[in-house]
Amino acid sequence: MHIPDAFIPIWQGAIYWIIALVFIALALRWARNEMSEEKIPLIAVVAAGIFALQSFNLPVSMGTSGHLVGGALAAIILGSPFAAIFILTLVLIVQGVLFGDGGITTMGANIINMGVIGGFVGFYSFKGLMAATGNVNIAAFIAAWLACVIPALACAVEMYFAGTFPLNEGLVAMGLYHALIGVIEGFVTVVAIRLIVAARPDIVDFKIEFPAAKGVDV
């Protein structure tokens, strides 16, 4: 999902960068107002942790592997889509500049896909599903699945606009692959949230107790 340089023309990359910068500014404002500016270092250290947990290979099928994006997890636990934008912006800068995973001219598009779309979709679908079902497992699973699939579809659409991949094939390939990975992301996110609620309920923004969380087998 990390679009590298060359896959998006420079002018389109510039537009995505401008949109991303608006959301980065909003995320910084959120960090100042909601978290108090002093807590920025805390979020930065969590970003390093998210970077590390993205390195765990998750078995998909037929020997292939994927990894967690973590946007939904961060947004749900920290209680704001802007948390995901802030954290994933830091992660994507490090990945792009140090590891070459995701481009420089395409970083705006990547921030929009994984941070903005992933964060907003993950957070608000979780909130909506919680209101509708009251079940954290279902809400977190579907939210994490959507936060994985929809950014992937957005990535396919951006590459179609760029003229570097046809729309139908892109939507089918990205949609199917990430629908599969999304199931794993959803499952792992639910297990991770259950563990976090059991071990550190004070850091979780949504105030819900899991009946089964008391007996999590770690």
Partner 1 sequence: MIEDLFFIEKQAYRESLMHRLDARVKIILAFAVIIAIVAVPYSIMVYTVGATFFLFFLILWAVSKLPLSVYGKRLVAIVPIWGIIILFQIFFKNKYYTDYHVLYTLPLGISIYTESVEFASILAVKFLISISFIILLSSTTKMQDLLQGASRLGLPAEIALALGMMIRYLFVFGYIFRKVNETLKTKCFDAFDRHLPYRYRLRQLGYTIGTMFIRSYEQGERVYTSMLCRGYGRESHLFITKKPLRGFEWAFLIISLTFIIAVPVTIWLTALRFF
Q: At closest approach, how far in Å is the CB of 166 from partner 1?
A: 5
208 near partner 1, rule: CB under 8 A? no
Residue from 51, 120, 123, 145 in contact with partner 1 (CB under 8 A):
51
37 near partner 1, rule: CB under 8 A? yes
215 near partner 1, rule: CB under 8 A? no
Residue from 110, 113, 125, 189 in contact with partner 1 (CB under 8 A):
189
| Long-range own/partner contacts, residues 150-154 (CB < 8 A, 24 or more apart) | 150/117, 150/118, 150/121, 151/1, 151/69, 151/71, 151/113, 151/114, 151/117, 151/118, 151/121, 152/1, 152/113, 152/177, 152/178, 153/178, 154/112, 154/113, 154/117
- Cα 20 to the center of its chain, rounded Å: 15
Residue 154, both tokens? 């957005």
15 near partner 1, rule: CB under 8 A? no
73 near partner 1, rule: CB under 8 A? yes
**Binding window for partner 1 (CB under 8 A); candidates: 41-49, 122-130, 146-154, 207-215:** 41-49
Residue 23, both tokens? 């959301």
195 near partner 1, rule: CB under 8 A? yes
Region 116-145 residues binding partner 1, contact defined as CB under 8 A: none
Give me the 152-181 binding string for partner 1, x by CB under 8 A, dash otherwise. -----------xxxx--x------------
Strand partners, 66: 58
**Binding window for partner 1 (CB under 8 A); candidates: 85-93, 118-126, 135-143, 206-214:** 85-93
By CB under 8 A, how many residues form the interface with partner 1?
74
C-alpha distances (whole Å) from 35 to each of 30, 40, 116, 118, 202 are 7, 8, 19, 21, 15
Q: At closest approach, how far in Å is the CB of 54 from partner 1?
A: 7
